[in-house]
């Protein structure tokens, strides 16, 4: 998978929108590692929740040009940048300013990707609509992630796959248990230590 062109983004924008970092590229690497699996699934409707600069969903769209790609972000500026990133890489993308994906009513997605706000913070730091929404994760860094986990059974297609990035402080085994109770199998696609963080990407499927 190609890494999307990003030089169109003014550096000043990263005062307001999450700048692609090691976690972003780990998720792209996870998708690349799973490329043959995804090709066999033939996804047609893909969603990234919390797209930030849009590099992850754009990378997926570049690998699957026939796929319909959507992204959401609670930060309006992130939606604008995500759309621009897709356009500069010749990917068709609809970017929707919303919290998670609850406003999609009947849609079901073949692939859902989430690089959540995973930093452990006080609960009152959660709920912003600016750049803090990209990192403030509340208790165990999981408050936002757990809200999406509740939506996945409704939003993921029966043959779909959900990719989620976590760090060890998020207690990944609890996430696996939550998803297992909803009938999902899980695998660790990739794991990497970045400075003081052990990052991993899990995938969930029926």
pLDDT, tens only, 19-77: 999 999 999 999 999 999 999 999 999 999 999 999 999 999 999 999 999 999 999 99
List phi, psi (to 5°) of 19.
Answer: -80, 135
Name 198's bridge partners: 193
Q: How many CB atoms lie within 10 A of CB 191?
A: 14
**pLDDT at residue 105 above 90?**
no
d(CA 116, CA 58): 17
* Distance in Å from the first CA to the final CA of the chain: 25
What is the radius of gyration, based on Cα positions, of the chain? 15
State which fold the 21-199 domain adopts: Rossmann fold (3.40.50)
Question: What's the rounded Cα separation, in Å, for the pair 123 and 141?
Answer: 9
What's the whole-number average pLDDT of the chain? 96
pLDDT digits (tens, 9 = 90+) for 84-104: 999 999 999 999 999 999 889
Give 3-state DSSP helix, strand, coil % of the chain, rounded to 5: 40, 25, 35
């Amino acid at each position: 998978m190609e890494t999307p062109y990003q030089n169109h983004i003014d550096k000043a924008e990263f005062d307001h929108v999450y700048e692609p970092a090691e976690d972003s590229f780990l998720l792209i690497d996870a998708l690349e590692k799973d490329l043959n699996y995804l090709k066999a699934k033939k996804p047609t409707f893909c969603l990234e929740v919390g797209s930030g600069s849009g590099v992850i969903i754009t990378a997926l769209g570049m690998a699957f040009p026939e796929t319909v790609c959507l992204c959401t972000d609670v930060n309006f500026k992130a939606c604008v940048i995500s759309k621009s990133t897709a356009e500069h890489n010749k990917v068709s993308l609809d970017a929707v300013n919303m919290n998670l994906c609850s406003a999609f009513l009947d849609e079901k997605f073949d692939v859902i990707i989430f690089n959540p706000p995973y930093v452990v913070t006080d609960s009152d730091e959660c709920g912003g609509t600016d750049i803090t929404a990209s990192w403030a994760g509340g208790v165990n860094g999981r408050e936002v992630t757990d809200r999406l986990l509740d939506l996945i059974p409704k939003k993921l297609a029966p043959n779909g796959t959900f990719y989620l990035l976590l760090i060890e402080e998020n207690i990944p085994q609890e996430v696996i248990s939550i998803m297992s109770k909803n009938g999902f199998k899980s695998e660790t696609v990739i794991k990497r230590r970045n400075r003081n963080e052990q990052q991993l990407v899990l995938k969930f499927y029926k």
